[in-house]
DNA sequence: TTGTACGCGTTATCAA
DNA sequence: TTGATAACGCGTACAA
């Protein structure tokens, strides 16, 4: 691990000169010395010490990707194909821009913020924030933040959010179900806030526009914790008799539900139609192939990272970026 | 971002004292001053600057998780449930031990090593290394390394490898197939080195022990690149007629294959039996549920991180750690 | 028990 | 065109 100081000593020159060559400030140094340094550099393959650089420049070249895990979903979070696709998109974009990515998963916002400030992280991508988190974050942290799939959180409103046209997505799908003759359509999710709420609203709107009435019992709540999910599915499958179709809030839940239904002799789509949301490999590899709402998760990650990079360069970015969705009609909704 | 220096100034004492209190060196400082500092600390919530600390101590508290992506599989790598489960296990363990995780994905070993040395990473978890990578890595990097699923790579032999009893896993499954009356059994994979080779060997051994002969044509090669996979599957499905069963090297491939077979009217397990390897959600949610070899991927990540942490504490660790596998008999191998 | 002073590797300022 | 030197924030040996 050779240092600039050491190089300067061996070459009988000052650290400034070496540093200038390293940073390509060609105007500041004569061609001869330039070459001399460059040759030496090639020989010893010098690697800068980022800690020292960070200290001197008060920046870190780190972008933090903080995933807030709901306690009841932690085990699922990292397994969800959604998350890994997202990470893939973000990591690639960040790396290509010469930044580094630090991944932090926690259910404790305070902990996340401590982590971020010790490392003097240059920018932050936040996923899974809700309720009062926003205020605490924006109090502590004064650098660029991009949120992902975050709806109207007080205190985060002045940050850019990269999201999806969730409402339109479920609207289109439920509308499609109605057109195909389904009347009793349920909605399945594990909560009613944020993204899930938006998708629920799209579903309700489609019902209303189709002349159907939404009843509280049309909302099916799934409890994803591993010690509750079986009971939860049992209950949902019992209620399934009352419906022609179920709009699920994610592909994961759709596929999980279909498996549970199949185990109980209820056929999809003959007995009941099921649709998902995400269009990930879970549904693509499923047979019958899952009818679902497509979103480009990797793109979401790329756009989020790109937006943050723009902010880091001092550019303004819009308050909301909504990526489109489209229907992927396959085989789990009866035609 | 308050600094120790600033705190010392405001409290009219030296930085040493403040630093001592922060590090709990209670013997060095009187109870009164201790309390005074502590109170102040709580009020301003001081966060240490890690860059400065790293520089002073020549360590980073960072553990690098480097995933080497084969160029032909990059898009699949991050989507594979295997990787996200692994990341989950590693991240959690590292975080609980007070370390930080830096994730780096690349197909270029040199790039990975540059990254690692700039950050002065304290320890490294390496996944997906092969061939000559090992030598280059161990030349550049003199700190603890733990490899994951790495077989006998020259130059990495003196590092601990956390792996699986891959050979036993496929042996057990193929043996089970034979017991159930299958005779013409193929093996499907995308390469024949490392983990895949070990699993192939287990398969061959089971064939031999069952009195069956292995022919070169029993190896089915799948090409996972998105522009080749369809052709590849077409070819494999054509060959499938010649077999009673196919042992797939992963659940992902097993499920992919079953979907392709189903699309062509070939039924599993009635017409052909399929087994996977991994036991991830892909197979669990599949119907018919996938018969597969179980491995605990999250545990693998945890063990790898734990092993590295031990080495960081100066403990010796064994050269090889092999986690067990066991059969999960479900519905895709005909009884 | 407390304080002073220096080093870690880099960048930046300013003088030569 | 080059070189001294100060700063970044922290830890620590050593002096008081």
CATH of the domain at B150: 3.40.50.2300
pLDDT at A164 over 90: yes
pLDDT tens digit string along B38-66? 899 988 888 999 999 999 999 899 999 99
A chain contacts of residue B80, beta-carbon cutoff 8 Å: 84
Asked if the structure places residue B96 within a domain, the reply is yes
* Residues B83, B43 share a domain: no
Asked if the structure places residue A55 within a domain, the reply is no
pLDDT tens digit string along A61-74? 999 999 887 766 66
Decide if B208 touches A, using CB distance below 8 A. Answer: no
Nearest C-alpha of chain A: how many angstroms from B175? 28
- Across all strands, nucleotide nearest A46 (CA–C1'): C9
* Residues A202, A280 share a domain: yes
pLDDT tens digit string along B164-184? 999 999 999 999 999 999 999
Decide if A281 touches B, using CB distance below 8 A. Answer: yes
Mean pLDDT check: name the lowest of B47-51, B54-58, B150-154, B208-212: B150-154
Asked if the structure places residue B330 within a domain, the reply is no
* Residues B291, B188 share a domain: yes
Is A85–B78 a contact, with Cβ atoms under 8 angstroms apart?
Answer: yes
Of B1, B55, B103, the CB nearest to A103: B103
Q: How far apart are CA A212 and CA B23, in angstroms?
A: 65
Contacts (Cβ under 8 Å, ≥6 apart) of A254: A248, A274, A275, A276, A277, A283, A290, A292, A332
Nucleotide D4: nearest residue by CA–C1'? A14
Q: What band does B311 get if pLDDT is binned at 50, 70 and 90?
A: very high
B9 contact to strand D (CB, 7 A limit): no
Asked if the structure places residue B292 within a domain, the reply is yes
* Residues A259, A190 share a domain: yes
Overall average pLDDT of the A95-118 stretch: 87
pTM for the complete prediction?
Answer: 0.90
Evaluated on CA atoms B257, B258, B261, B263, the torsion sign reads negative
* Residues B174, B152 share a domain: no
pLDDT tens digit string along B255-291? 999 999 999 999 999 999 999 999 999 999 999 999 9
* Residues B24, B111 share a domain: no
B chain contacts of residue A119, beta-carbon cutoff 8 Å: 50-51, 100
A chain contacts of residue B95, beta-carbon cutoff 8 Å: 104-106
Asked if the structure places residue B74 within a domain, the reply is yes
Give the nearest chain A residue to B52 (CA atoms).
A55
User: Is residue B255 a contact partner of residue A285, using CB atoms and an 8 Å limit?
Assistant: yes
A12 contact to strand D (CB, 7 A limit): yes
A chain contacts of residue B63, beta-carbon cutoff 8 Å: none
Is A95–B79 a contact, with Cβ atoms under 8 angstroms apart?
Answer: no
Asked if the structure places residue A177 within a domain, the reply is yes
Mean pLDDT check: name the lowest of A111-120, B142-151, B155-164: B155-164
* Residues B261, B308 share a domain: no
Q: Is B151 left (phi over 0), alpha (psi -120 to 50) or beta?
A: beta
In the prediction, which pLDDT does B79 show? 67
* Residues B179, B284 share a domain: yes
Is A106–B95 a contact, with Cβ atoms under 8 angstroms apart?
Answer: yes
* Residues A140, A94 share a domain: yes
In the prediction, which pLDDT does B229 show? 94
Q: What are phi and psi of A85, to 5 degrees?
A: -65, -45
- Across all strands, nucleotide nearest B15 (CA–C1'): C3
Asked if the structure places residue A331 within a domain, the reply is no
Is B118–A79 a contact, with Cβ atoms under 8 angstroms apart?
Answer: no
Is A78–B87 a contact, with Cβ atoms under 8 angstroms apart?
Answer: yes
pLDDT tens digit string along A221-266? 999 988 999 999 999 999 999 999 999 999 999 999 999 999 999 9
pLDDT tens digit string along B12-22? 999 999 999 99
Identify the burial level of B230 via C-beta atoms within 10 angstroms of its C-beta, where 0-12 means exposed, 13-18 middle and 19 or more buried: exposed
B52 is written with which tokens? 């400065």
Q: Above pLDDT 70, what percent of chain B?
A: 94
Residue A300 has a CB neighbour count (10 Å cut-off) of 23
Asked if the structure places residue A286 within a domain, the reply is yes
* Residues B303, B187 share a domain: no
Residue A33 CA distance to nucleotide D1 C1' (Å):
10
How many residues are present in chain A? 335
Q: Containing domain of residue B219, as a range?
A: 166-296
* Residues B150, B172 share a domain: no
Most confident of A29-43, A297-311, B128-142: A297-311
Q: Within 7 A of a protein CB, which nucleotides of strand D?
A: 1-14
Residue A143 CA distance to nucleotide C11 C1' (Å):
22
- State how many domains chain A has: 3
A chain contacts of residue B282, beta-carbon cutoff 8 Å: 281-282, 285
Instruction: Please confirm whether the linkage preceding B288 is cis (ω < 30° from 0).
Output: yes
DSSP for B139-186, written as a single string: HH--S-EEEES----TTTTTSEEEEE-HHHHHHHHHHHHHHTT--SEE
Residue A23 CA distance to nucleotide C14 C1' (Å):
20
Q: How far apart are CA B254 and CA B114, in angstroms?
A: 37
- Across all strands, nucleotide nearest A31 (CA–C1'): D1
């Amino acid at each position: 691990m050779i240092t600039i100081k050491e190089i300067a000593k061996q070459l009988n020159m000052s650290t400034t000169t070496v540093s200038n060559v390293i940073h390509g400030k060609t105007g500041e140094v004569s061609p001869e010395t330039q070459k001399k340094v460059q040759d030496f550099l090639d020989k010893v393959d010098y690697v800068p010490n980022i800690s020292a650089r960070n200290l001197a420049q008060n920046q870190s070249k780190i972008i933090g990707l903080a995933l807030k895990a709901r306690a009841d979903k932690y085990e699922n979070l990292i397994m969800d194909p959604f998350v890994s696709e997202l990470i893939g998109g973000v990591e690639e974009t960040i790396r290509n821009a010469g930044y580094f990515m630090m991944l932090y998963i926690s259910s404790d916002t305070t902990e996340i913020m401590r982590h971020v400030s010790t490392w003097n992280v240059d920018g932050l991508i936040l996923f899974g924030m809700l309720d009062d988190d926003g205020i605490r974050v924006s109090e502590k942290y004064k650098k660029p933040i991009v949120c992902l799939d975050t709806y109207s959180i007080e205190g985060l409103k002045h940050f850019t959010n990269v999201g999806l046209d969730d409402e339109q997505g479920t609207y289109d799908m439920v509308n499609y179900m109605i057109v195909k003759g389904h009347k009793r359509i349920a909605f399945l999710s594990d909560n009613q806030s944020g993204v899930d709420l938006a998708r629920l609203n799209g579903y309700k709107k489609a019902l209303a526009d189709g002349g159907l009435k939404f009843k509280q019992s049309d909302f099916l709540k799934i409890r994803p914790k591993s010690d509750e999910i079986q009971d939860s599915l049992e209950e949902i499958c019992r209620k399934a008799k009352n419906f022609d179709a179920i709009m699920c809030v994610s592909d994961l839940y759709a596929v999980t539900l279909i498996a549970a239904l199949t185990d109980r002799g209820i056929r999809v789509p003959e007995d009941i139609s099921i649709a998902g949301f995400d269009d990930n490999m879970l549904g693509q590899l499923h047979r019958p192939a899952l009818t679902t709402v497509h979103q480009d998760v990797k793109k979401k990650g790329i756009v989020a990272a790109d937006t943050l990079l723009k902010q880091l360069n001092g550019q303004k970015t819009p308050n909301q970026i909504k990526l489109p969705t489209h229907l992927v009609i396959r085989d789990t909704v009866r035609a």
